[in-house]
Structure 1
Amino acid sequence: MSDDDDRMRRWRLVLGGGDADGTEEQLSPADAGMDQALAALYGGGSSDASGSGEGGGRGGDLGASAPRVARWLGDIRRYFPSTVVQVMQSDAIERLGLQRLLLEPEMLDAVEPDVHLVGTLLALGRVMPEASRRTARAVVRKVVEDLQQRVTQRTRAAVTGALNRAVRISRPQHRDIDWDRTIRLNLKHYQPHLRTVVPERLVGYGRRSNAVHREVLLCVDQSGSMATSVVYAGIFASVLASLRSLRTSLVVFDTAVVDLTEKLADPVDVLFGTQLGGGTDINRALAYCQSLITTPRDTILVLISDLYEGGSAEQMLRRVASLVGGGVQVIVLLSLNDDGAPDYDREHAAALANLGVPAFACTPDAFPEIMAAAIERRDVRGLIERLAAERA
């Protein structure tokens, strides 16, 4: 096929107007199938999944039928790469009102799973029939397993290394002294008349034990805008909970607060324990988290929220100030996903910055390094600025 022919073919697929588009281009059977798949979503006919709307241009629609949607999903998977499939699925949900068709197991079987679809399924979890719920759990589990493979090894390595470095003790028992590091650290204290080093500070090995060295509280806003962040937070919480030297808690909230810590052994159970949507009461959630803290100076509280407070913003900021004043490390993630720059309350983010609390968007790839820095009590703000500069 010449470049001109291919260009005309592409214009025909873009215009989708048949004989009236002026291209006089005849489509092959494969291109005709691709055109029909595009027409069902981007045509001018139906404005919703019911096919009841009117309009010109392409006349296809998905109709009020889950099997028809399933066939369409199979078509787009055949004609387009997975990245395009995910965009088209998202567009179909938004443009054609397919939320109600997500209740049908036939459609779920045909879906190309991704983190955004998981967020949609979780939002509908309370109203799904049991048959659809079983299929939805299978879809969610596939996505969770894929994401776990992506994040688990890196998170374990970063956090375990940070814990090993952080628990080197300054007043070790004799059997726990790291003599090499202790001598190197104290060479400046060599006493010539004694012909020895008088150590000012002893460095101990981090002893391998089941002792808890840090408490991590993940406090996650489950309002609808935070859907993908909720998915990643649930997976990271499950990974952190598997590390014996951490005591990890997961709290999700809207206007109510739900503690999902007991479900952390299975991230799918965690995700189906959330309920996306509703209002937001950050202060109430922070108050609950504050009640869980036993050793403030060894506690890291990660608030994942866009900071749109539906309760008292003044009380929320006072609560954060109280936590910081008590020695708790507080970090605010405005989002935890790969979706780009989030929408968030800039006034509240600035107020938190004045309290010494960093508030920033975080990608899943950056989260392990952020947690490692917090565990070692390194400069998280400096790390954030470095990561932002690297992304730019």
Structure 2
Amino acid sequence: MVLGGDSAETTGCTLTGRDAAMDGALNALYGGGGRPGGRGGSDRSAGLGGSAPSVARWLGDIRTYFPSSVVQVMQRDAIERLGLSALLLEPEMLEAVEADVHLVGTLLSLNKAMPETTKETARAVVRKVVDDLERRLVTRTRATLTGALDRSAKINRPRHRDIDWDRTIRANLKNYLPLPGGDGAGTVVPERLIGYGRAAQAVKKDVILCIDQSGSMAASVVYASVFGAVLASMRTLRTRLVVFDTAVVDLTDQLDDPVDVLFGTQLGGGTDINRALAYCQSRITRPAETVVVLISDLYEGGIRNEMLKRVAAMKASGVQFVTLLALSDEGAPAYDREHAAALGALGAPAFACTPDLFPEVMAAALEKRPLPIPDKETHQ
């Protein structure tokens, strides 16, 4: 299919029916015709007309002709290439779009400009995406982290009622002694007792998610908010969620609903990582049992040396410090390589992380074992 020109002239054949409609929808966006729904530079270009109804019709067309994954890409291109963000402030437009993480990021960036008539529709769109993400991520995250917390809480001198007999027997099979009589009976000598202390159901670890809410981190903010809600639902973790630009906002009291968290963010603006880390550092009460996760592209607008000193101080006190350059499925991110290298020199390697890998990263941090860094191209 040829975009931006007359297919009959360039290929010698004329498209009809569904093929022509698909070509028109594509040409409206990629053929240089302006905006969806109007008239473009060629006679058959649909163009991207400025009215919400015409754009809504175009959105309906592409959902008819293309799979969801393609629709999301085309919507993103329309918003970025043709400046359609303002039209997302209208309820009828929001009802027509295919919701995904990128659309949520766009809506959050428009949050302050959004009229009251649109906010409920916008929340419904965000809720749909959040619910989909939770269904995808919650079970594996809880299972992975519960296992990590159980292993980190294992003790070798438990009280009798706290003995994990299954693990104790397995650990002592080498100490099996057959009983006299030769009937196959025997006993296991439990030289090593394995169990869980009475505090097993109490808080075992503190987790602080420190999230850069600059505009380039939109997808990461969405995923981090969902993960924050999942972590907060685990009684053995005490989770704090902090977002920052040049100011710092603690959204911990909203963690029971990631949609509230997301609408409490303000995408865009500058970045002061040092100030955010200073706040997080002030909330640490059990350094050896604390994991701090900084999610940022590291383009620091604050005091670089102070930022690095804070990271070094936290690590020296026993804090497990993790730096994620992105938490998304978007591939290798843009980031400040100098700052990433400096953190790596402190023993805090910075790397990009997909949502599917995040539970494994957190499990490793909770157990104080090496992090599963995915790709040398995306970390320092």
Q: Same fold (TM over 0.5)?
A: yes
User: 2: distance between equivalents of 1:119 and 1:89?
Assistant: 13
- Matching of residues 154-303 of structure 1 within 5 Å: 154-178=140-164, 203-207=194-198, 210-303=201-294
Cross-structure match for 1:16: 5
Structural mapping, 1:357-372, within 5 Å = 357-372=348-363
In structure 2, the gaps of 5 or more residues are 176-187
Query: How many Å separate the matches in 1 of 2:22 and 2:56?
Result: 15
| TM superposition shift of 1:109 | 0.3
Tell me which amino acid in the other structure corresponds to 1:266.
Answer: D
Q: Output the CA distance in 2 between the equivalents of 1:166 and 1:283.
A: 30
1:41 paired residue number: 29
Deviations 1:236-268 (A, max 9, x none): 000000000000010000001111111111111
Is the CA contact 2:168–2:190 (under 8 Å) kept in the aligned structure 1? no
**Cα distance, 1:45 vs. partner?**
2.9
Q: CA deviation at 1:173?
A: 3.4
Return the offset for 1:44.
2.1
Partner Cα separation in structure 2 for residue 249 and residue 233 of structure 1: 12
1:26 aligns with 2:14: yes
Aligned residues with identical type, % of pairs: 67
Q: Does 1:109 align with 2:107?
A: no
In the TM superposition, residue 209 of structure 1 has moved relative to its aligned partner by 5.1
Counterpart selection for 2:69 from 83, 91, 109: 83
Match of 1:375 among 361, 366, 373: 366
1:136 aligns with 2:122: yes
Match of 2:342 in 1: 351
Evaluate the alpha carbon distance shift between residue 208 and residue 153 of structure 1 in structure 2; reply closer, same or farther with a 3 A threshold. farther
TM superposition score normalised by structure 1: 0.86
Moved over 6 A (4+): 48-52, 183-189
Q: Could you list the per-position Cα deviations for residues 303-332 of structure 1 after superposition, in whole angstroms to 9, with x for gaps in the alignment? A: 000111000111100010111011100000
One-letter amino acid of the structure 2 residue matched with residue 145 of structure 1? D
Whether contact under 8 Å (1:219, 1:301) holds in the other structure is yes
Paired with 1:364 and 1:57, the residues of 2 have a C-alpha distance of 45
1:5 is aligned to none
Structure 2: how far apart are the matches of 1:265 and 1:198? 44
Quote how far apart the aligned CAs of 1:202 are.
Answer: 5.4
Question: Which string of whole-angstrom CA distances, capped at 9 and with x for unpartnered residues, describes residues 312-368 of structure 1?
Answer: 111100010111011100000000000000111111111111111121100000001
Q: Is the 8 A contact 2:25 2:58 kept in 1?
A: yes
Rounded Cα–Cα distance in structure 2 between residues aligned with 1:126 and 1:176 = 53
RMSD, aligned CA: 2.7
Q: Give the secondary-structure state (helix, strand or coil) at the position aligned to 1:311.
A: coil
TM-score (norm 2): 0.89
Distance in structure 1 (CA, Å) of the matches to 2:16 and 2:190: 86
Shift, 1:56, TM fit: 5.9
In the aligned structure 1, how far is the partner of 2:14 from the partner of 2:160? 85
The amino acid across from 1:16 in the alignment is: G
Taking a change above 3 Å as real, the CA distance of residues 24 and 319 of structure 1, as seen in their structure-2 partners, is same
Shift in CA distance, 210/175, structure 1 to aligned 2, threshold 3 Å: closer
Q: Does 1:325 align with 2:313?
A: no
Residue matched to 1:63: 49
Letter in 1 for 2:148: A
| Whole-angstrom CA distance in 2 between matches of 1:90 and 1:256 | 29
Contact 1:115–1:231 (CA under 8 A) maintained in structure 2: yes
Question: Which residue of the partner structure matches residue 183 of structure 2?
Answer: none
> Unpaired segments of 5 or more residues in structure 1?
1-9, 190-195
Deviates more, 1:240-249 or 1:26-35: 26-35
Aligned residues: 366
Tell me which amino acid in the other structure corresponds to 1:116.
H
Identify if the C-alpha distance between structure 1 residues 235 and 14 changes in structure 2 by more than 3 Å, giving closer, same or farther. same
Closer, same or farther: CA 180–364 of 1 in aligned 2, 3 Å:
closer
Question: Contact 2:340/2:350 (CA < 8 Å) preserved in 1?
Answer: yes
1:66 to partner: Cα distance: 1.1
Quote the residue 1:125 is aligned against.
111
Following superposition, the deviation at residue 168 of structure 1 comes to 1.2
1:322 aligns to what SS in structure 2?
helix
User: Take 2:32 and 2:238, find their aligned partners in 1: how far apart are those partners?
Assistant: 54
